[in-house]
Amino acid sequence: MKKLFLCCIAVACLSTFALADNNDPLNFSFDMNCQFGHYCDADTGFAGSPASAIADFSGIGQPFTFLAKTADTTDWFFNGDYYEATFGYGGSFTMSGPDNLTFTGVVTSGYAHGQGESWQVQVNYSGEWSNGVYASGDAFVDINNGGQDTEAHLDSKVAPEPSTFLLFGSGLVGIVARKRFF
Protein backbone atom coordinates (compact mmCIF):
# COMPACT_ATOMS: atom_id res chain seq x y z
CA MET A 1 0.00 0.00 0.00
CA LYS A 2 2.86 2.35 0.84
CA LYS A 3 4.47 1.70 -2.58
CA LEU A 4 1.16 2.46 -4.32
CA PHE A 5 0.87 5.71 -2.35
CA LEU A 6 4.42 6.76 -3.30
CA CYS A 7 3.78 5.82 -6.93
CA CYS A 8 0.62 7.99 -6.97
CA ILE A 9 2.56 10.94 -5.54
CA ALA A 10 5.29 10.50 -8.17
CA VAL A 11 2.72 10.43 -10.98
CA ALA A 12 0.99 13.53 -9.59
CA CYS A 13 4.33 15.38 -9.41
CA LEU A 14 5.26 14.46 -12.95
CA SER A 15 1.80 15.46 -14.18
CA THR A 16 2.17 18.87 -12.57
CA PHE A 17 5.53 19.46 -14.23
CA ALA A 18 4.24 18.12 -17.55
CA LEU A 19 1.69 20.95 -17.61
CA ALA A 20 4.59 23.32 -18.20
CA ASP A 21 5.85 21.37 -21.21
CA ASN A 22 2.78 21.28 -23.42
CA ASN A 23 2.41 22.53 -26.98
CA ASP A 24 1.67 26.06 -25.78
CA PRO A 25 2.58 28.64 -28.46
CA LEU A 26 4.44 30.48 -25.69
CA ASN A 27 7.01 27.65 -25.61
CA PHE A 28 9.39 28.55 -28.42
CA SER A 29 12.96 29.03 -29.55
CA PHE A 30 13.91 31.32 -32.44
CA ASP A 31 17.21 32.23 -34.05
CA MET A 32 17.56 34.71 -36.87
CA ASN A 33 20.15 36.60 -38.82
CA CYS A 34 18.98 40.15 -38.56
CA GLN A 35 19.68 43.56 -39.95
CA PHE A 36 21.61 45.58 -37.37
CA GLY A 37 19.71 48.67 -36.25
CA HIS A 38 16.49 47.55 -37.91
CA TYR A 39 15.55 44.14 -36.49
CA CYS A 40 18.06 43.98 -33.64
CA ASP A 41 20.51 46.06 -31.65
CA ALA A 42 22.58 45.74 -28.48
CA ASP A 43 24.55 47.96 -26.14
CA THR A 44 27.05 46.35 -23.74
CA GLY A 45 27.07 49.36 -21.44
CA PHE A 46 30.43 50.60 -20.19
CA ALA A 47 32.34 50.69 -16.92
CA GLY A 48 29.63 48.91 -14.95
CA SER A 49 26.57 50.53 -16.48
CA PRO A 50 23.51 48.50 -17.60
CA ALA A 51 23.47 46.66 -20.92
CA SER A 52 20.50 46.40 -23.28
CA ALA A 53 19.35 44.35 -26.26
CA ILE A 54 16.35 44.50 -28.58
CA ALA A 55 15.12 42.21 -31.36
CA ASP A 56 12.07 41.98 -33.62
CA PHE A 57 11.41 38.51 -35.05
CA SER A 58 8.77 39.66 -37.56
CA GLY A 59 11.56 39.46 -40.16
CA ILE A 60 11.30 35.66 -39.95
CA GLY A 61 7.49 35.62 -39.73
CA GLN A 62 7.24 35.35 -35.93
CA PRO A 63 5.10 37.82 -33.93
CA PHE A 64 7.64 38.24 -31.11
CA THR A 65 9.83 41.15 -30.04
CA PHE A 66 11.91 41.61 -26.90
CA LEU A 67 13.61 44.41 -25.05
CA ALA A 68 16.08 43.58 -22.28
CA LYS A 69 17.75 46.03 -19.95
CA THR A 70 20.01 44.77 -17.17
CA ALA A 71 20.70 46.32 -13.81
CA ASP A 72 24.22 47.64 -13.10
CA THR A 73 26.97 45.03 -13.42
CA THR A 74 28.03 42.71 -10.65
CA ASP A 75 31.50 42.55 -12.21
CA TRP A 76 33.19 44.12 -15.22
CA PHE A 77 36.58 44.20 -16.91
CA PHE A 78 38.06 46.58 -19.48
CA ASN A 79 41.41 46.25 -21.24
CA GLY A 80 42.23 48.22 -24.39
CA ASP A 81 39.27 47.70 -26.71
CA TYR A 82 38.02 44.57 -24.89
CA TYR A 83 35.12 44.90 -22.42
CA GLU A 84 33.14 42.25 -20.55
CA ALA A 85 30.52 42.46 -17.82
CA THR A 86 28.31 40.12 -15.83
CA PHE A 87 24.91 41.03 -14.45
CA GLY A 88 22.80 39.64 -11.64
CA TYR A 89 19.12 39.88 -10.84
CA GLY A 90 17.49 43.17 -11.83
CA GLY A 91 16.54 45.32 -14.73
CA SER A 92 13.64 44.48 -17.00
CA PHE A 93 12.67 42.10 -19.78
CA THR A 94 9.59 42.80 -21.90
CA MET A 95 8.17 40.96 -24.90
CA SER A 96 5.26 41.20 -27.26
CA GLY A 97 3.77 38.07 -28.74
CA PRO A 98 0.82 36.66 -30.68
CA ASP A 99 -2.75 37.87 -30.09
CA ASN A 100 -1.56 41.16 -28.53
CA LEU A 101 -0.01 39.35 -25.57
CA THR A 102 2.67 41.20 -23.64
CA PHE A 103 5.27 39.87 -21.24
CA THR A 104 6.67 41.68 -18.23
CA GLY A 105 9.64 40.21 -16.46
CA VAL A 106 13.04 40.69 -14.92
CA VAL A 107 16.56 39.85 -16.04
CA THR A 108 17.75 37.08 -13.72
CA SER A 109 21.36 37.11 -14.99
CA GLY A 110 23.31 38.30 -17.97
CA TYR A 111 26.61 38.74 -19.74
CA ALA A 112 27.96 41.30 -22.20
CA HIS A 113 31.23 41.56 -24.03
CA GLY A 114 32.68 43.51 -26.87
CA GLN A 115 35.89 44.00 -28.76
CA GLY A 116 36.41 46.30 -31.72
CA GLU A 117 33.44 46.07 -34.06
CA SER A 118 31.85 43.02 -32.41
CA TRP A 119 29.73 42.79 -29.27
CA GLN A 120 27.08 40.62 -27.61
CA VAL A 121 24.48 40.98 -24.86
CA GLN A 122 22.98 37.79 -23.43
CA VAL A 123 20.33 37.56 -20.67
CA ASN A 124 18.26 35.01 -18.78
CA TYR A 125 14.81 36.17 -17.69
CA SER A 126 11.59 35.19 -15.94
CA GLY A 127 8.17 36.82 -15.69
CA GLU A 128 4.52 36.66 -16.68
CA TRP A 129 2.52 37.02 -19.89
CA SER A 130 -0.55 39.27 -19.86
CA ASN A 131 -2.77 36.14 -19.93
CA GLY A 132 -1.34 34.99 -16.57
CA VAL A 133 1.09 32.42 -17.97
CA TYR A 134 4.51 32.36 -16.29
CA ALA A 135 7.62 31.78 -18.40
CA SER A 136 11.38 31.98 -18.33
CA GLY A 137 14.09 31.74 -20.92
CA ASP A 138 17.09 33.37 -22.49
CA ALA A 139 17.81 35.88 -25.23
CA PHE A 140 20.81 37.41 -26.94
CA VAL A 141 21.87 39.74 -29.69
CA ASP A 142 25.29 39.12 -31.23
CA ILE A 143 26.73 41.81 -33.53
CA ASN A 144 29.91 41.16 -35.52
CA ASN A 145 31.93 43.03 -38.13
CA GLY A 146 30.34 46.37 -37.27
CA GLY A 147 26.84 45.05 -37.92
CA GLN A 148 27.50 43.11 -41.11
CA ASP A 149 26.94 39.76 -39.36
CA THR A 150 24.19 40.00 -36.74
CA GLU A 151 22.22 37.28 -34.96
CA ALA A 152 19.40 37.28 -32.41
CA HIS A 153 18.02 34.46 -30.27
CA LEU A 154 14.90 34.19 -28.11
CA ASP A 155 13.85 31.16 -26.08
CA SER A 156 10.84 30.79 -23.75
CA LYS A 157 9.54 27.93 -21.63
CA VAL A 158 6.16 28.11 -19.93
CA ALA A 159 6.22 27.28 -16.22
CA PRO A 160 3.36 26.39 -13.89
CA GLU A 161 2.17 29.40 -11.96
CA PRO A 162 3.34 29.51 -8.33
CA SER A 163 -0.17 28.89 -6.99
CA THR A 164 -0.20 25.51 -8.79
CA PHE A 165 2.73 24.40 -6.66
CA LEU A 166 1.02 25.74 -3.51
CA LEU A 167 -2.19 23.87 -4.31
CA PHE A 168 -0.33 20.68 -5.14
CA GLY A 169 1.78 20.90 -1.96
CA SER A 170 -1.20 21.52 0.30
CA GLY A 171 -2.94 18.51 -1.24
CA LEU A 172 0.05 16.32 -0.47
CA VAL A 173 0.18 17.59 3.12
CA GLY A 174 -3.54 16.78 3.48
CA ILE A 175 -3.06 13.26 2.14
CA VAL A 176 -0.12 12.57 4.45
CA ALA A 177 -1.96 14.05 7.47
CA ARG A 178 -5.09 12.02 6.76
CA LYS A 179 -3.05 8.84 6.38
CA ARG A 180 -1.06 9.51 9.54
CA PHE A 181 -3.75 10.70 11.94
CA PHE A 182 -6.89 8.89 10.81
- Quick check: is 34 in a domain? yes
Print pLDDT tens along the chain (182 aa).
455 444 445 444 444 444 444 568 899 999 999 877 789 999 999 999 999 999 999 989 999 999 999 999 999 999 999 999 999 999 999 999 999 999 999 999 999 999 999 999 999 999 999 999 999 999 999 999 888 899 999 999 998 755 554 445 555 555 555 566 55
123: in domain: yes
Spatial separation of the C-alpha atoms in residues 72 and 46, rounded to whole Å: 10
Structural domain count of the chain? 1
**66 falls within a domain:** yes
Q: Which three-class secondary structure state does DSSP give residue 149?
A: strand
Residue 11 lies in a domain: no
Q: Is residue 1 part of a domain?
A: no
Q: Is residue 10 part of a domain?
A: no
Report yes or no on 71 lying in a domain: yes
Query: Could you tell me the residue range of the domain that residue 148 belongs to?
Result: 29-176
125 within a domain of the structure (yes/no): yes
Give CA–CA dist 155/165, Å, rounded.
23
CA distance 71 to 54: 16
Are the beta carbons of 137 and 157 closer than 8 angstroms? yes
